[in-house]
A and B are shown apart, each in its own frame.
Chain A
Amino acid sequence: MSRTLGWRAAPVFAALAALPAVPGMTDYYLLLAFDALLFGAVAMSLDLLIGYTGLVSFGHAAFFGLGAYATAILLERGILSLWASLGFAVVIVGLYALVVSYFATARRGIYFALLTLVFAEVVFTFFRYTQTFGGSDGIQGVPPPELLPGVTLDTPMRNYYLIVVYLALAWAACRVLVGSHFGKVLVAIRENEDRARFLGYNVQRYKMAACMISALLTGLGGALYPGRAAFATPDLLLWTVSGEFIIMVMIGGLGTLTGPVIGGAFFIVLQEKVSSYVDWYFIVIGAVLILIVLFMPKGLLGLRRLLGARPWRATA
């Protein structure tokens, strides 16, 4: 199944790669596509945790924000290499995720959600009040990073291709993971944690690993953000942003990986477009969420089944 899905994804990524060549494609739409794919990828990483392992993280904004701050801190100090900032982000997000996942995965359900939330609030508070990192203004106006010395990521087009590559790699990683033995154990934990434990699996270690992988993928996404936006601000770390990530996953469809990518992109485009016309778009977003929870718990991807497509999930 995973192999066929892998081949089916190829034309999608080819289409994404060809997007800038579409007539009428402007820099603005490329930047919007950047955001849509970036948050799609973040939602996908979160799905690894929520959809496959059954752990709802209400603190993913902290992983994203920490990644963004890692890049912004380096860029502000004149270290322009993209690879340096990605490496730095991995270290920072990794250390933080290690602590969070160690304590949070010891708990289940709501406790996990709230522990991740509170840890994330600590990170938010730290950046919000630390003047070295700009306090509530954050770090703003950082120069664009360099892919290689002399190759600066300063155009929407270059940034867009960067995010397509990131999405492709993250997607491939998630696919492989989910199809592997490791992924099967995660699903087993989601379905019945005690049974997985009786079968001899060290459940907490598996959960921690899932949490770390999800956090690192999210953090890497965050690390790519300042290259496009030129800032990292505390707002990125707010717990309501974590809530938005969950909304993206729910809209797309839990435990499908592809669904959350669509959900994330859908959310960004919806927010961008609806907010230009009406000022009550939060009612739209909230109502969409309620309706999905009540009537379409499988999200947008669930629609395919209604339309007569083949069942979309083989892993569960």
Chain B
Amino acid sequence: MDYLVAVLLPQLLHGFVFGAALGLLALGLTVIFGLLGVMNFAHGELYMLGAYAGIVVIGVTQSFWVALVVAPILVGVLGALTEATMLRPLYRREPLYGLILTFGLALVLREGARQVWGGDMRRIPAPFTGSTPLLGMTYPDYRIFLLAISCALLLAIWLFFTRTRAGVLVRAAVQDAEMLDGLGVDVRRLFTLTFAGSAALAALAGLLLAPVFTVYPQMGVEMILLAFIVVILGGMGSLGGSVVAAFVIGIAQSLFSLWMNPQRVAIAIFGIMIVVLIVRPRGFFGREGVLE
């Protein structure tokens, strides 16, 4: 019982916080995948740019909260431009071109950020620094806030997709874009806006996590692999699946590192994924036949 309260519960909490963060990152990735069939390798760099944009906005306005609104918009605009100029010409081609193009884009953005802001690590101070006694330890308030806002965002996104016309349209486009086009919906604009939204979400995740995870040009490339795993586990294109998978990965990583050395933790995480892919290739909630 003591073990449960003193060790397992805190570990679960750590896992939840990390899982929520991962969920925000993976959600944008899975929407883009479902809609455009592009596995966006540059998603991690959009996440990174969100944090740097945040630093710039905070530098001008001195406010974390303003940055939380403005930085995702800036990155969202960049996302829209990227989609319109680079990805749109590729939709008629095989998905692998999108994969490779975004890989190149990731190189450019990462190195560009390093040229502009330098390779040194930056830190964004958390907007509040207190801590709360929780489960026998002093738990930082910002992490509690992070968990709360991530869950709120995930809920809001779910409501958006189920309760708003725009959300329903996006989901319809995931199902069958041509049909939607035939029904007179401007699918091109829908694609651009969705990509912008996905980029903004990545940027938001980058900025929200910056006070905990710090900011540097390679921060995205290190997260993207985990985000890929989450998307695959959850079932490509499945929103709910991604969220569930994010929590599974976050908690698994947290619990495993209690009992295993880092090597085994990493292999265990990859192992989970390989097993899922073999036993249930479409992931937890993926629809049958999507790009299998």
Contacts and interface: CB of A to CB of B under 8 A. Distances in A.
Task: Tell me, yes or no, whether A and B come into direct contact in the complex with CB atoms closer than 8 A.
Answer: yes
B117 interface: no
Interface stretch (A126-134, A166-174, A218-226, A302-310): A126-134
B193 interface: no
Interface residues of B, number: 45
B138 interface: no
A18 interface: no
Contacts of B106: 286
A127 B291 CA distance: 32
Contacts of B251: none
A118 B107 contact: no
Contact of B96 (A103, A109, A126, A280): A109
Given A118-B229, A125-B266, A128-B263, A286 B277 contact: no
Contacts of B267: 122, 125-126
Nearest to B96: A56
A130 B263 contact: yes
B39 A113 contact: yes
A107 B270 CA distance: 17
In which size bucket is the chain A interface? 35 or more
Given A108-B291, A109-B95, A113-B39, A103 B111 contact: no
Contacts of A117: 225, 228
A122 B270 contact: yes
Contact of B93 (A106, A119, A285, A297): A297
Nearest to A292: B104
B186 interface: no
Interface of A: 50, 54, 56, 103, 106-111, 113-115, 117-119, 121-122, 125-126, 128-130, 239-240, 243, 246-247, 250, 280, 282-283, 285-290, 293-294, 297
A125 B261 CA distance: 12
A103 B274 CA distance: 9
Nearest to B224: A239
A290 B278 CA distance: 33
Given A110-B236, A283-B115, A293-B97, 10 more contacts: A56-B96, A117-B228, A118-B277, A122-B274, A125-B266, A125-B267, A125-B270, A289-B104, A289-B107, A293-B104
20 contacts: A108-B291, A109-B291, A110-B33, A113-B39, A118-B229, A119-B274, A122-B271, A122-B274, A125-B263, A125-B266, A125-B267, A130-B263, A247-B104, A250-B100, A283-B107, A283-B112, A286-B105, A286-B106, A289-B107, A297-B93
